[in-house]
Structure 1
Amino acid sequence: MFSVSRPALQACRLPRQPLGAPVACRRSCLSYFETRRPYSTARDRSAVGVFTPKSAALFVLSGIGLFFYFRHEKAKVIEQQEQERSTKAYGRPLVGGPFSLTTHLGAPYTEQELLGKWSLVYFGFTNCPDICPAELDKMGLMLDAAEKEHGPIFNPVFVSVDPARDSPSRIAVYLKDFHPAFTGLVGPYDAVKAMCKAYRVYFSTPPNAKPEDDYLVDHSIFVYLMDPKGQFVEAFGQTVTVEEVLQKVRDEIASWKSEMGKTA
């Protein structure tokens, strides 16, 4: 064995650093972290995936623009379809057709009598307590106003759905309380039923009813507008006002005149 003297060992030791003084390793580490590029920058922290705030904003604006564009185009298509529907006859319900009844004056009356004028056809009965009189009054007001604008080109028709009690003479008396241009129609039960079926009218009169019977009649409440060719144009319900009917009549007559060169 050999031995090393104490003075030799002391000579090999590194100089002792004062407390608090940074060692060389610490200085090297600090220098490394200070000079190394950080893992994330402000730009990286604000980016989401492959999107930056600018690209995200452009994406959102593009989506909004496409939404309004397609909504506008859809509105244009709907408007065009409505215009086509209102100016063309095809696509309308199949309402109307052949019938053969008798007027309140006892004369025969068929669908041919509807040609050449704008017809307003209403189905009701003389024992109706309030609805039928109200609808016939409304028709009279509309006729007075329409004739002032367009002349006597209208044909108002009242069809009885109570053939057992509504004779031609009874209808004649009943219609005196309304517009003088009204034509009242009635006929055998099967003939009335056939016309109601053609016009899609519901009525509940018993088929074997007698004039002396006491029964109630339920029926559809519509005024049918037919053009001078006898084709269905519109059905006006109980809630439709006189002005709304007049406006529809104006529009249809204007369209008819532009196509035919005349109002009826």
Structure 2
Amino acid sequence: MAFQMTDQDGETVGPATLLGSPSLVFFGFTYCPDVCPTTLSDISGWLDDLSDEAAQLKVIFITIDPARDSGTALADYVGSFHPAIQGWSGTPEETERAVAGFRASYEKVAIEDGDYTMNHTASVFLFAADGQFVTTVDYHEPREFAVPKIRRVLETIGDPAK
């Protein structure tokens, strides 16, 4: 999966940015009425539960709506949640490459007033420090299942046998 994006601080990021630490990756958009804020709140709760262990994770929110989600809007949006959550955005083409690389999906959907919304994959992707996909945490998955999944990946840091 090859793509290049910009994080909320203006730094260039991509798949290599995720290497070296386990990561949680979620696709969404700042105008999302329910799934995105709910999931980012859930992620914030997981990170709170992990306490100091959370510092070992890279947590990325990738916008699927680069037309509306400028760097400033993205920074403001993720800033409403846990401080470990970083926002990434890219051109429409880079966004398509990122989504395809993660095997996620999204589509623009017109709504009544001429505006639009976005349908998208609602799961959070969990990756090991070496970039290998481990599992997903599903939308509304109970905290008592989500946090242990993340802890199991954190336990493998520095232990390639796990």
TM over 0.5, shorter chain: yes
Distance 1:199 1:140, change over 3 A: same
* Residue matched to 2:68: 165
* Residue matched to 2:150: 249
Aligned partners of 1:227, 1:255: CA distance in 2, in Å? 8
Please state how far the C-alpha of 1:255 moved relative to its aligned partner: 4.3
Q: Specify the code of the residue in structure 2 equivalent to 1:198.
A: G
Aligned partners of 1:242, 1:99: CA distance in 2, in Å? 31
Unpaired stretches in structure 2, ≥5 consecutive residues: none
Helix, strand or coil at the partner of 2:87? strand
Which residue, 132, 153, 161 being the options, matches 2:56?
153
* Residue matched to 2:29: 125
TM-score (normalizing by structure 1): 0.56
8 Å CA contact 2:25–2:61 kept in 1: the answer is yes
Please state how far the C-alpha of 1:151 moved relative to its aligned partner: 5.4
Structure 1 residue 217 corresponds to structure 2 residue 118: yes
Aligned residues: 159
* Residue matched to 1:229: 130
Please state how far the C-alpha of 1:107 moved relative to its aligned partner: 1.2
Query: How high is the sequence identity, in percent, across the aligned residues?
Result: 31
Q: Specify the code of the residue in structure 1 equivalent to 2:18.
A: L
Q: Which one has a larger percent helix, Structure 1 or Structure 2? A: 1
Q: Which has the higher contact order (CA 8 A, sep 6+)?
A: 2
Aligned-pair RMSD on alpha carbons? 2.0
Aligned pairs for 1:75-154 within 5 A = 97-148=1-52, 150=53, 152-154=55-57
Superposed CA deviations along residues 207-261 of structure 1, whole A, max 9, x for unmatched, are xxxxxx7112111101000111111111111131122111112223334554369
Q: Specify the code of the residue in structure 2 equivalent to 1:235.
A: T
Aligned partners of 2:100, 2:54: CA distance in 1, in Å? 32
Aligned partners of 2:130, 2:156: CA distance in 1, in Å? 14
Helix, strand or coil at the partner of 1:216? strand
Q: Which one has a larger percent strand, Structure 1 or Structure 2? A: 2
TM-score (normalizing by structure 2): 0.89
